[in-house]
Amino acid sequence: MLSAEDNEVLCRIGAGTPMGELFRQFWMPAILSSELEADGSPRRLRLLGEDLVAFRDSGGKVGILDAYCPHKMAPMFYGRNEKCGLTCIYHGWKFDVAGDCLELGNEPGGEDHKHKVKIRSYPVREISNLVWIFMGDENQIAEFPHLEWAHVDAKQSHVTRWLQRTNWAQGFEGEIDSSHISFLHRTMNQSLRGAAVGTSLAPAGIWDDAPELTLRETDYGFVYGARRRADENTYYWRMTQCMFPIFNQIANDVFPRSGRCWVPVDDYNVMAFSYVYNADGPITEKEAETLEAGAGFPPLRDYGPTELDDGYVIDTFISKNVRGNDYLIDRDVQSEGSYSGIYGLTNQDRALQENMKSGFGLGPGKIVDRSSEYLMTADVPVITFRKMIIKMAKDLAEKGIRPAASMDGSLYNVRAISAITDIETFDELLEVYGDECRGIVTPAMAAE
């Protein structure tokens, strides 16, 4: 269980909250590069509870600005994106990607006063199919994370995003819960296990419902091994990487590899970013088509304006399987085809996470009441995650201690692996497979 006080620290991410300020120490994915066209429609975002608008100017540069014009607080989304700036259509105030005012349309002395006007903007970096944002102190900008998937050529990765209607922690905790795959993601057909591109559930013929877990804390979060018995003399190991505050990588023994990022929209919604990448070559057209079929990550989804709980609208991807249609659960399939009866790994996770018991917030799934949980040994990764990240947030708030990973991006240059082996202990596994656990990012790559 988690106390109500610590649950608040874990879940609340607005400006000035301990967890919100911790998130602002790191670079985070904001939007897909493909969503922004030069002089095209702006896109509405909400990140860490802040309403924002993203656009690509005439020269191809991306800006992420406050969603509202500083003049009369009109929405910049309806603005004209042209001639290297975004113009509010209410009174003609125009801003560039850096937030500097270019024109004060309705002000007779505009040329003399525009240098005094600025709209809030954030540092951005566009790399490998994503636009990233830094929302913290611009005098202490974090080092960009040396995540292997974020530094390969754009053709070598497939990145997607979708909205999940939960607090960020519920989604993240699902990624570090190795034992749930034995049940929620089980299919009755052994040949289909692990069939989704970049997803390693378990090789055919191996299904040990209760893996033994061993965890080691690191400067970037932690790594843990889940050991399942393969036969009398061998084990199936899954090593999962948990990289604070939002990144994880799923165990696999070959490319393509995959993982997720969990970027808080606000206290009650999170944007899930899924990545699949191949450091040895491009993602093939067939692999991309398989990913978009919805069996793994991402779900089958639509794109468009989506209203949040308080009425603010963002532009995003939404799964076709939602609470209102019971995630399209098929009871006949549940009896004969899959354990859950719900199509798609993402939708299986969301069906449970979006409907957990709520104790704080707007209804089921928004912020879980963790005070009544009954956690056991299979939950050690989740327990450790909560303990470590709450401590990091409090250390920053109370002592000014910045997290090590925000200042040293090389800590993220790791991989998650899986293996069938006769190795019995996790420490020996780490020693034997040490080279495979490191990514290929070099200082030169990271500096590009």
Tens digits of per-residue pLDDT, 267-281? 999 999 999 999 999
Only one residue has tokens 């057209």, namely 285
Cβ contacts of 224 within 8 Å, gap of 6 or more: 176, 178, 213, 214, 215, 216, 239, 240, 242, 380, 381, 426
Tens digits of per-residue pLDDT, 119-146? 999 999 999 899 999 999 999 999 999 9
Closest CA to 37 of 315, 311, 292: 315
Same domain, 73 and 168: no
CATH classification at residue 295: 3.90.380.10
pLDDT values of the chain reduced to their tens digit, one per residue, 448 residues = 799 999 999 999 999 999 999 999 999 999 999 999 999 999 999 999 999 999 999 999 999 999 999 999 999 999 999 999 999 999 999 999 999 999 998 998 878 889 999 999 999 999 989 999 999 999 999 999 999 999 999 999 999 999 999 999 999 999 898 778 878 888 755 444 444 555 555 565 555 678 899 999 999 999 999 998 888 889 999 999 999 999 999 898 899 999 999 999 999 999 999 999 999 999 999 999 999 999 999 999 999 999 999 999 999 999 999 999 999 999 999 998 889 999 999 999 999 999 998 876 677 878 998 888 999 998 999 999 999 999 999 999 999 999 999 999 999 999 999 999 999 999 999 999 999 999 989 888 887 7
CATH classification at residue 89: 2.102.10.10
On the CB side of 416, how many CA atoms lie within 13 Å of its CA? 32
DSSP 40-65: ---EEEEETTEEEEEEE-TTS-EEEE
Indicate the residue among 96, 118, 140 that finishes a domain.
Answer: 140
12 located within any domain? no
110 located within any domain? yes
Strand (E) or helix (H) holding 194 = none
- The span from the CA of 170 to the CA of 281, in Å, is 33
What pLDDT, on a 0 to 100 scale, did the predictor assign at position 445? Answer: 83
Structural domains counted in the chain: 2
Same domain, 195 and 299: yes
Phi-psi bin for 182: left (phi > 0), alpha (psi -120 to 50), beta? Answer: alpha
**Containing structural domain, residue 65:** 27-140
DSSP 235-271: EEEEEEEEETTTEEEE--SSSSEEEEEEEEEETTEEE
Residue 102, both tokens: 């270019």
3-state SS of 300-329 is: CEEEEEEECCCCCEEEEEEECCCHHHHHHC
Taking each continuous run of H as one helix and of E as one strand, the counts in the chain are 12, 20
Same domain, 267 and 352: yes
10 located within any domain? no
> 66: helix, coil or strand?
strand
9 located within any domain? no
Same domain, 413 and 309: yes
CB 198 within 8 A of CB 257: yes
Indicate the residue among 106, 140, 174 that finishes a domain.
Answer: 140
108 located within any domain? yes
On the CB side of 152, how many CA atoms lie within 13 Å of its CA? 22
- The span from the CA of 124 to the CA of 128, in Å, is 13
Same domain, 93 and 192: no
Q: What percent of the chain is predicted at pLDDT more than 90?
A: 79
Same domain, 373 and 429: yes
What pLDDT, on a 0 to 100 scale, did the predictor assign at position 201? Answer: 56
CB 369 within 8 A of CB 357: yes
326 located within any domain? yes
As a whole number of Å, the CA-based R_g of the chain is 22
Closest CA to 228 of 418, 381, 380, 375: 418
What pLDDT, on a 0 to 100 scale, did the predictor assign at position 218? Answer: 96
Same domain, 264 and 191: yes
Residue 282, both tokens: 């491009």
- The span from the CA of 427 to the CA of 419, in Å, is 14
The chain-wide mean pLDDT, for the chain, equals 92
441 located within any domain? yes
Same domain, 124 and 206: no
Same domain, 55 and 163: no
Same domain, 136 and 153: no
> 420: helix, coil or strand?
strand
Report in angstroms the alpha-carbon separations of 226 from 112, 175, 385, 433: 65, 13, 16, 15
The torsion angle over the Cα atoms of residues 190, 191, 192 and 196, rounded to 10 degrees, is 130
Same domain, 203 and 270: yes
Q: What is the pTM of this model?
A: 0.94
- The span from the CA of 95 to the CA of 63, in Å, is 10
Indicate the residue among 140, 160, 192 that finishes a domain.
Answer: 140
14 located within any domain? no
Same domain, 322 and 377: yes
Closest CA to 272 of 160, 184, 355: 160
